[in-house]
Amino acid sequence: MTESVTADPLLAVLTELALDLRWCWNHATDELWRRLDPELWRLTHNPWVVLQTVSRQTTRDAFADPIFRKKANQMLSEKRAAEGGPAWFQTAHPGAPLTCVAYFSMEFMLSEALPIYSGGLGNVAGDLLKAASDLGVPVIGVGLLYQQGYFRQYIDRNGFQQALYPFNDPGQLPIKPLRDALGEWLRIPLHLPEATVWVRSWEANVGRTKLYLLDTNDPANLPTHRCITSQLYGGGPELRLQQEMVLGLAGWRLLYALGIRPEVCHLNEGHAAFVVLERALSYMEEQHQPFDVALTVTRAGNLFTTHTPVEAGFDRFPPTVIRQYLERYAEHELRVEFDDLLSLGRGNRLDHSEPFNMAFLAVRGSGAVNGVSQLHGGVSKRLFQPLFPRWPQAEVPVGHVANGVHVPTWDSVEADKLWTMKCGKERWRGALETVERLKGASDEELWDLRTRARQALVEYTRQRLSRQRTYQGAGQLEITQANSIFHPESLTIGFARRFATYKRPNLLLYDRDRLVRILTNRQCPVQLVVAGKAHPEDHDGQAMIKQWSDFISRSDVCPSAVFLNDYDVLLASHLVQGVDLWLNTPRRSWEASGTSGMKVLVNGGLNLSELDGWWAEAYSPELGWAIGDGQEHGDDPGWDAHEAEALYDLLEKEVVPAFYNRDKRGIPNAWVAKMRASMLQLTPRFSSNRTVRDYVEGYYLSACNAYRDRAMNRSELGIELSDWSKSLAQHWSDVRFGTITSQKEGANYIFEVQVFFGELSPNAAVVELYADAGTDSDTFRQKMDVARQPDAPDDHMLYSAKVPANRPASDYTPRVIPCGLKASVPLEAPHILWQH
């Protein structure tokens, strides 16, 4: 269909603009699509649908208008200039060897025009691609194109959620088929037990970056295989395994078919872990190396980002299912024993009954692992400790990069104008040096921004609620009342997220009567917008939606609260731009990061949240409000009750008074002070601009260099490290301690330790003194020096160390840990021996 449109030279300009998702954050072209079909644009916000739906005469008439034609050509010139010139990456890292990062994710949230997302994971993925485009970082995305995607939500007349699955017609999506040099559709074969599945490929332009999408809805496939990419997070474990094989195995093969050779693969959750195997296979075939060497080389270029805060959240598959789908792949392509493949996905490699854990495969196949907030980094250390037995939790090799949101996607028109006036047009496309200039905004300007944003949200809420009640079959009176709900001057709170028990979306309903009093206070009224979906199989989540529906249907509540159907990107945009306060109430530490509250920052909205995820590191009293004591309490109902009371207290005693306590100009000074501090301090800090720069400078460049080092000279370093790893596995059990002595000399202790290495080379390990962190001190590690070489092959090595005597000598414990040239320990070598 793309070819038929572009065949008309009059449409070439609009086609190029419509097929670049840059329009979903750079809204300069909106007026073009609105001119062609105002109503269709309002309903879809999809330029590609508008362009294909309107008549050719309509577009010719538009181009006959010199103003329209000039605008379209100007937009195309600006787009090409933005994508062609040097950006932050080219300026900050000239000559860097990094040419491509392949970012694999099960979902990408870019726009409501491409509905292949569910929630937070896709939000992070989509915003990362957009920020990479802004910054010129060479990232490409790899994902799946779902025929139905995630379900669409309908709340029926009785308040029950209904799941709908409209078809995603590829011809109506802003994507195009990928074709080879001969013009044939690029299709990737994937061997499943029953047959070969043909995987089709598509391309979406995201500014300077590209997103490649895969689907199995090829007529040449069996019906059951055509449905592999039918729904996001639908079906059972076997379908999920098939989808993850498409993403990881076929995804890497597609890149190779396109001639793309990424130095770095970024795995967004364990769903993508099979790319670890396929990347190693490609290296095996190209460099004629065995699997162990290929994995040693390629893992250095893999980064695994985990978003899971609980062990049960990892994808795990029964060994029988893995055998059915991957035994032949292991033995005939990777040329390893099937049990060796299974061991990569097990905590206990020797436990043949243990399920295959995709996150464990990702850890063992990557050169670095990170969580998505400071708190989640610590949680992930605990979750992955089974892979590093006897290592202290603090040394489990998991770092963190806090998530961020793509600010230009989520700011309102009014917010964009204010930031541009104060900080310049290019403020989010560099290192954020100019953002601090917003401190020059006056109280009047900031409060005017909030007032306009709230008014826009009230108008949108009325329109959407009116439509919602109409298709629910409401009476004319209810529909008419929807058109006058809310007041543009009232404090407006937003609460929208996936409805799941750990997110406690009904904490606010703990004391309904008290909530009613807060909402209906005549002097200081509060209005509440609620939205969110529960997975179709999550009956508890759906029950909580029903509770909200019942509460809002009360005659004393309905003028002050609404539940809006079908939470998606478009609704989220209106909410985060318009609300005064964003509310978030998960159980600590069950939300890895959370990004919804980050989206209100640029628009001057404030946060009231549990001290969990990103808010645990963002919060301070001058920036917003918090509940919780910074500790974990599980699902204790008593603690839920305590926090509900704390939430009501904050609203009644701090939040509402701060909003309504005005000076003679009608400005709430305390509220605006928090706005200014939040916008200045948190917007840049929790932007995907900062996130992407952190990934580049903390992970991508080092991963690229590590991969290149291991691959050069025909895998010389990779072979050395592989041999080192084999030697550790074979001879580590030989290592033991002999005599240990310590004596005090002045302000120091002198330790001497005998170590017997047996068949293991002493050069393969180091001996350290270790002391746990005490109440007043940090964890202590010091390498011990060789004091005497062995007199005979089976004799001991003697090590010594001088350490401060500022704590008892009994605090210090000798240990032996692996040491390999440029190896990551303990990530690549979890062995450790303690003296007891």
Amino acid, single-letter form, for residue 306:
T
Contact 108, 61 (CB under 8 A): no
Question: What pLDDT score does 774 carry?
Answer: 66
- Whether cis (ω within 30° of 0) applies to the bond prior to 488 is no
Nearest-5° Cα angle at 445, 443 to 450: 95
Q: For the chain, give every domain's residue range.
A: 2-84, 99-403+696-711, 407-454+487-685, 735-834
pLDDT for 22 beyond 80: yes
Q: 542-574 burial string, b = 16+ CB within 10 Å, else e?
A: bebbbbbbebbeeeebebbbbbbbbbbbbbbbb
Nearest-5° Cα angle at 779, 774 to 785: 130
pLDDT for 241 beyond 60: yes
pLDDT for 261 beyond 60: yes
Report, as an integer, the average pLDDT of 805-816: 93
Q: What is the DSSP letter of 667?
A: -
Could you give the CA distance from residue 94 to residue 82 in angstroms, rounded to a whole number?
18
CATH fold for the domain made of 99-403+696-711: Rossmann fold (3.40.50)
> Nearest-CA neighbor of 119 among 691, 544, 532?
532
Task: Report residue 19: phi and psi, to 5°.
Answer: -95, 10
Amino acid, single-letter form, for residue 100:
C
pLDDT for 88 beyond 50: yes
DSSP 105-137: -S-B-S-TTS-B--SHHHHHHHHHHHHHHHHT-
- Whole-angstrom CA distances from 505 to 34, 163, 500, 509, 537 are 37, 19, 7, 9, 17
Report, as an integer, the average pLDDT of 326-349: 96
> Nearest-CA neighbor of 192 among 246, 143, 132, 236?
246
Neighbours of 509 (CB within 10 A): 15
Contact 574, 460 (CB under 8 A): yes
Contact 208, 216 (CB under 8 A): no
Please state the separation of Cα 325 from the chain's center in Å: 28
> Two tokens at 449?
């921004």
Could you give the CA distance from residue 447 to residue 434 in angstroms, rounded to a whole number?
22
Q: Please give the model's pTM, rounded to 2 decimal places.
A: 0.96
Q: What is the DSSP letter of 138?
A: -
Task: Report residue 149: phi and psi, to 5°.
Answer: 70, -150
End-to-end CA distance of the chain: 71
pLDDT for 350 beyond 70: yes
Task: Report residue 101: phi and psi, to 5°.
Answer: -115, 125
At 659 the three-state DSSP class reads helix
Sequence-ordered strand ranges (E) for 588-735: 606-610, 625-627
Q: CA dihedral in degrees (174, 180, 184, 190; nearest 10)?
A: -90
pLDDT for 344 beyond 50: yes
299 torsion bin: left (phi>0), alpha (psi -120 to 50), beta (else): alpha
Question: What pLDDT score does 587 carry?
Answer: 93
Q: Are strands 581-584 and 606-610 parallel, antiparallel or unpaired?
A: parallel
User: What is the tens place of the pLDDT at every residue in 682-715?
Assistant: 999 999 999 999 999 999 999 999 999 999 999 9
HSE, CB side, 13 Å, CA atoms: give it for residue 529: 32
Question: What pLDDT score does 775 carry?
Answer: 56
What angle in degrees, to the nearest 10, is found between the helix axes of 701-731 and 291-299? 140
pLDDT for 665 beyond 90: yes
Neighbours of 787 (CB within 10 A): 13
Report, as an integer, the average pLDDT of 36-44: 92
DSSP 715-759: HHHHHHHHHHHHHHHHHGGG-EEEEEEEEEETTEEEEEEEEE-TT
- Whether cis (ω within 30° of 0) applies to the bond prior to 742 is no
* Arithmetic mean of pLDDT over the chain: 94
DSSP 414-426: HHHHHHHHHH-TT
- Whole-angstrom CA distances from 90 to 93, 429, 514 are 5, 12, 56
Give 775-779's long-range contacts (Cβ < 8 A, gap of 24+). 777/806, 777/807, 779/392, 779/394
Could you give the CA distance from residue 296 to residue 298 in angstroms, rounded to a whole number?
6
Report, as an integer, the average pLDDT of 535-564: 95
- Whole-angstrom CA distances from 796 to 755, 758, 769, 784, 792 are 5, 9, 18, 15, 8
User: What is the tens place of the pLDDT at every residue in 97-138?
Assistant: 999 999 999 999 999 999 999 988 999 999 999 999 999 999
Contact 612, 588 (CB under 8 A): yes
pLDDT band at 792 (very low <50, low <70, confident <90, very high): confident
pLDDT band at 7 (very low <50, low <70, confident <90, very high): low
User: What is the tens place of the pLDDT at every residue in 135-171?
Assistant: 999 999 999 999 998 889 999 999 999 999 999 999 8
> Two tokens at 50?
């508008």
At 804 the three-state DSSP class reads strand
Q: Are strands 302-305 and 264-268 parallel, antiparallel or unpaired?
A: parallel
Question: What pLDDT score does 312 carry?
Answer: 86
HSE, CB side, 13 Å, CA atoms: give it for residue 758: 11
pLDDT for 2 beyond 60: no
Same fold, 99-403+696-711 and 735-834: no
Q: Are strands 581-584 and 491-496 parallel, antiparallel or unpaired?
A: parallel
Give 3-state DSSP helix, strand, coil % of the chain, rounded to 5: 45, 20, 35
CATH number of 407-454+487-685: 3.40.50.2000
User: What is the tens place of the pLDDT at every residue in 193-226?
Assistant: 989 999 999 999 999 999 999 999 999 999 999 9
Element (H, E) at 154: strand 152-155
Question: What pLDDT score does 4 carry?
Answer: 45
> Nearest-CA neighbor of 168 among 130, 121, 111, 124?
111
- Whole-angstrom CA distances from 19 to 113, 144, 205 are 11, 18, 7
Please state the separation of Cα 267 from the chain's center in Å: 10
Q: State the CATH architecture for 735-834.
A: Sandwich (2.60)
Percent of the residues in the chain that have a pLDDT greater than 90, as a whole number? 90
Contact 520, 555 (CB under 8 A): no
pLDDT band at 511 (very low <50, low <70, confident <90, very high): very high
Which residues does 587 contact at the CB level (< 8 Å), separation at least 6? 502, 503, 504, 610, 612, 633, 634, 635
